[in-house]
């Protein structure tokens, strides 16, 4: 599988992936994280225009997962009830979702993001037990609580990794 930037022709497929993700969340005791229209077409369009939307495709070029990813400051991470592992430049993942029949795709996206920036932050709703499990499985540290622009709390996670001399 490989990661590539999202293109405008991918939007309808992403909207379907997000729709199924919302349904999955509701069926798994997480009815509050994403509203019925989140993420909207406008949000996806903006992510694409900012070169921050990525898809994971299989060997047939079929989209199996998506995420918003960028390296740089995320305003919602400027204040945390707790403490980040460091204050170095970091990568951010938001809006990660996959087709349910493609196990391991979220792991692929996280691993790709870590290769881009070995200092990664992500947050999730307290009711999103599958994501919390995944982040713990991959060695993320729970650092505290951040608050979205609307005031909703999210659990903040952070992971750093050591690069070997060969990677420099």
pLDDT at 33: 81
Output the pTM of the full model: 0.89
Give the pLDDT confidence of 81-128 residue by residue, as tens digits. 999 999 999 999 999 999 876 778 999 999 999 999 999 999 999 989
Contact indicator for 125, 53 with CB cutoff of 8 Å: no
Give the pLDDT confidence of 122-165 residue by residue, as tens digits. 999 998 998 999 999 999 999 999 999 989 999 999 999 865 44
Contact indicator for 33, 125 with CB cutoff of 8 Å: yes
C-alpha distances in angstroms, 138 versus 8, 100, 110, 133?
31, 19, 9, 9
Homologous superfamily of 2-167: Gcn5-related N-acetyltransferase (GNAT) (3.40.630.30)
Domain ranges of the chain: 2-167
Residue 37 above 90 pLDDT?
no
């Amino acid at each position: 599988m490989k990661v590539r930037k999202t293109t405008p022709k991918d939007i309808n497929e992403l909207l379907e992936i997000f729709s199924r993700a919302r349904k999955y969340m509701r069926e798994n005791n997480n009815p509050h994280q994403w509203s019925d229209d989140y993420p909207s077409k406008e949000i996806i369009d903006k992510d694409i225009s900012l070169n921050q939307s990525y898809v994971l495709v299989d060997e047939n070029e079929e989209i199996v997962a998506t995420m918003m990813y960028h390296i740089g400051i995320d305003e919602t991470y400027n204040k945390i009830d707790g403490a980040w592992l460091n204050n170095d430049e970091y990568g951010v993942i938001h809006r990660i979702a996959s087709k349910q029949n493609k196990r391991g795709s979220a792991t692929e996206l996280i691993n790709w993001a870590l290769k881009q920036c070995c200092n990664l932050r992500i947050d999730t709703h307290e009711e999103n037990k599958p994501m919390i499990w995944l982040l713990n499985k991959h060695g993320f540290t729970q650092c505290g609580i951040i608050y979205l622009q609307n005031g909703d709390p999210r659990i903040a996670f952070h992971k750093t990794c050591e690069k070997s001399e060969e990677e420099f």
